[in-house]
Structure 1
Amino acid sequence: MATGMGDRDPAHPIDARGTAEEDWRAWPDLAQFPLLDLDGVRSVVVVAPHPDDEVLGFGGSLALLAEAGARLRIVAVTDGEASHPNSPTLAPGELVARRSAERAEALRCLGAESAEVVKLSIPDGSVGAAQAEVATRLNALCSGFDLCLAPWPGDLHPDHDATGRAAEAAAVAAGTPLAHYPVWMWHWAVPGQGEVPWHDGRRIDLPANIQRRKAEAVNCFTTQIAPLSEHPDDAAILSEQMLAHFDRPTEIVFR
């Protein structure tokens, strides 16, 4: 998720203190978006710029779809090798293996272990430079599916934004309906913020058992939610404040 950003920029919204989950939960509009009806959706492609994005942004919905017997395809755009670029503990290849195993275990927790995972192996942090290639490859991977989910192109993480734009182009070419899931937006935005397309917001309600499945799945990503070691370059990527945004009884997408 928080990969491919290079040196941290204190002025960048992603590196700012961020909005507390309590502020989002106090916003009445959060529970009032129209429902996105997943009944009848028999096949879904979820495009993830890094391992964990598909679970953070759409994991509860993945569990619901798996429970309903839908065909699921996860398109892994990068392998997430740049989350700890200066780690003294894990080399990039070792991190790739760890993150791949974390995704597999997370999908198992969601009841979606049969989901097909297609890896594009675009270098982490370089999706923008490969956006045209990603769009071309996604076109074939989305064709014939009922729905494609991809990051919101305004998420303000360069890999997320480029992946979202590539998915838009691919979905139009393939004739596949598209929805966007936000990830970083919950950190840097505030309720009602103007540049966020709230008018396109749709809500998926998550029953208690599905919320538990999603929480278990998020906890699988130990390379991101816990330090690799005590060394500063091995610090956790996702703070507790950030993780709180994905422990809700709903998921929101833009459609």
Structure 2
Amino acid sequence: MSLLDGIGRALVIAPHPDDEVLGCGGTMARLADMGREVHVAIVTRGMPPRFDPADVDAVRKEAKAAHDLLGVRETHYLDLPAAELDGIPHSRVNEAISGLVARLAPDSLFLPFIGDVHVDHQLIFTSGMVAARPRGGAYPARIYAYETLSETNWYAPYVTPAFCPNVFVDISAVLPRKLGAFQCYGSQVQSFPDERSVETLEALARLRGSTVFRAAAEAFVLVREVG
């Protein structure tokens, strides 16, 4: 029995548009192909004057195209201020994520890794764990942390938490869809050797796959599982 066999409804929480594809795009595609529900929550929205509203709207169109390609059931926008989560009461972040988790009741939750260099990622991981507290009978049975290129590996792994994956999902058959979904985010794709490039994303998938003798894989840290 694989990790995917136990998932009926998954919720991927992304701090910003494209994080979900970078970290979980292949896993989302496989789950959708199996007929499972895949939901994505994009927590933040770029706010003026730092972000141009036209650019924000364009990125949302890119997200729709990417999610359609992967088979996402529904995309949820929580509209908290991007790159400013540390400037608002943390209770707002908790409430937004907890409310969605309570409404969707996912059995599996995918969160950004707490050791990512971006503070938004760190705070959203913490709020995701708050939302998934094992109280009552309904809470996510499985919590996974995913890696995000240019965030997970750019902190200080000997000082801050290091991403040491212990769960791997074979995405060999759906890697082209993952890469295609990333390419839908035309405003975010950079030219190699930038980490936010198609070539680097494929290289990471090949590396993670080779780790477990597969052609391509996504890697996760299992945070908690209740059987």
TM-score of the two chains, using structure 1 as the length reference = 0.70
Q: Residues 61, 132 of structure 1: CA spacing in aligned structure 2 closer, same or farther, 3 A cutoff?
A: same
CA distances 1:76-121 after superposition (whole Å, capped 9, x unpaired): 1112468x95xxxxx6101111110111111122233xx2111111
Identify, as 1 or 2, the structure richer in strand.
2
1:225 and 1:237 in contact (8 A); partners too: no
Q: In structure 2, how many angstroms separate the alpha carbons of the residues matched to 1:110 and 1:100?
A: 15
Q: CA deviation at 1:129?
A: 3.3
Q: Which runs of structure 2 are paired with 1:1-255 in the superposition (5 Å)?
A: 37-80=3-46, 85=50, 92-112=52-72, 115-130=73-88, 131-143=90-102, 144-172=105-133, 175-176=139-140, 177-183=142-148, 184-187=151-154, 195-196=161-162, 198=164, 201-208=166-173, 210-226=174-190, 238-239=196-197, 242-244=200-202, 246-248=204-206, 249-255=216-222
- Which secondary structure state, in structure 2, belongs to the residue aligned with residue 39 of structure 1? helix
Q: Deviations over 1:186-207 (max 9, x none)?
A: 45578x9984152x62111113
Aligned length: 202
Indicate the larger mover: 173-182 or 145-154: 173-182
Q: Is the 8 A contact 1:57 1:246 kept in 2?
A: no
Q: Match of 2:91, SS?
A: helix
Percent identical pairs in the alignment equals 28
The 3 A distance-change label for structure 1 pair 37 and 139 is same
Query: What RMSD over aligned residues (CA atoms) do the two structures have, in Å?
Result: 2.9
Distance 2:70 2:116 in 1: 25
Segments of 5+ residues of structure 1 without an aligned counterpart are 1-34, 86-90, 228-235
Q: Which has the higher contact order (CA 8 A, sep 6+)?
A: 1
TM-score (structure 2 length as normaliser): 0.77
Unaligned runs of 5+ in 2: 207-215, 223-227
Distance apart, 1:237 and its partner CA: 8.6
